[in-house]
Amino acid sequence: MSSAGQAAGERPIRVALDMTFPRRYPTWGFSVYARSLLAALAHVDGVHPQEIGGPPRSGLPATLRWLAAGASAATRSVGARLLHCPAFVAPWLASVPTVISILDAAAWRFPADYPLEWRLYNRLILPRLGRRSRRVVTISEASRAEVSQYYGLPVGKIEITYPGIDEIYFLAPASPGVAEVRGRAGNGGPLLLFVGAPVPRKNLPLVLRALGSAPAGSAMANARLLITGATDDGFADDRRWIGEHGLAGRVLWTGPVPQARMPEMYAAADVVVYPSRYEGFGLPPLEAMAIGTPVVASNASCLPEILGDAAVLVDPDDDAAFAAAVEAALTRTDLRTGLIARGRTRAACFTWRACAQATANVYRQALGTRPVPQST
């Protein structure tokens, strides 16, 4: 998609993006979103993004100082007309109009996945900041409905800007890197990939049960599983289950993987499994599709909206359906061929350029200027 250009007579928008929290938590989903959006906004006509950020180290006193006064001072120092906070957290007072990104309502739906201080902030402070902001940005229709419901915000105030897929996922990764990934996972048998830290809502136990109960002679009975985003140190229950059911030799925890290496991970996998119970958008399955790897995902939350018919979607509580879907994706050539073709087409629909243009129109709305039309 491309912008029709800056409206005649429209003042350029100098916008400050608060990158404090994306810097602190570089592997989190909202950080990928914030960094990619910042880079893409630099190429939008009439928008001049300015990066600001508080102290690099986390800590309550420094964070409070930033939210109380630091962010507003930094916004003034770069001459911004607007402040965009792309990672849920916004200052209490701002010297210019504010846009805040609330990407999902996961902390309401799955509070056990979050520390106490985040749960308190999410329930007591973030709804007020959302009401105070000129516009709220979210990343899917499903998220807009839930952000409105849980944060008490009018739907008309919440704008959807679909994230994009990084261009590296549309390029063929280096063969030696792909071979290395498969070698680390052990020789022989199909390879499944589970992307991200397996907090409870990500539903890793469903995948483990499918591996552990696969009938002899099936592809699943010989499959191996890679888990990225974490080591098993923080997931004692999963580690124990894996050991008790004889899967230790078939499950590998890679720990966090740099983005530059993720295309190799996706390309090495025969199927990406994504049985999450809740997502705001769901970048990993689209990244896998861009590479050309079939995806089996849940039919929960926003995933049907985002993935369409380009993935096999199943009930995240139906063990038999999930196991059958993965087995089919591993063994049926016709199914795999269709998923690969539809997946690449679907992934190409989501670009950071389009996200940046849509976000620029949110800025124009927040400042009371005319949105620029978009065309394909």
Length of the chain as a residue count: 376
Q: pLDDT at position 318, please?
A: 98
Q: Whole-model pTM? A: 0.89
Q: pLDDT at position 55, please?
A: 74
- 313 within 8 A of 298, measured Cβ to Cβ: yes
Q: pLDDT at position 371, please?
A: 54
For 9-45, the pLDDT digits (tens) are 578 999 999 999 888 887 778 889 999 999 999 999 9
Q: pLDDT at position 19, please?
A: 93
Q: Domain segments of the chain: what residues?
A: 2-164+351-375, 167-347
DSSP conformation class of 163? -
Q: pLDDT at position 370, please?
A: 58
Q: pLDDT at position 375, please?
A: 40
- 164 within 8 A of 352, measured Cβ to Cβ: yes
Cα separation of 194 and 85, whole Å? 30
Q: pLDDT at position 62, please?
A: 81
Asked whether the domain spanning 167-347 has the same topology as the one spanning 2-164+351-375, the reply is yes
Cα torsion angle, 348, 349, 351, 354, sign = positive
Q: pLDDT at position 312, please?
A: 98
**Beta-strand (E) ranges in the chain?**
2-3, 13-18, 47-52, 82-85, 98-101, 135-138, 158-160, 191-194, 224-228, 251-255, 271-274, 295-298, 312-314, 374-375
Q: pLDDT at position 7, please?
A: 52
User: What does each C-alpha distance from 233 to 197, 230, 236, 244, 253 come to in angstroms?
Assistant: 11, 8, 6, 16, 10
Q: pLDDT at position 1, please?
A: 37
Q: pLDDT at position 187, please?
A: 64
Query: Which superfamily does 167-347 belong to?
Result: Glycogen Phosphorylase B; (3.40.50.2000)
Name the fold adopted by 2-164+351-375. Rossmann fold (3.40.50)
| Beta-strand pair 312-314/191-194 | unpaired
Q: pLDDT at position 3, please?
A: 42
Residues of the chain with pLDDT under 70: 1-9, 58, 187, 370-376
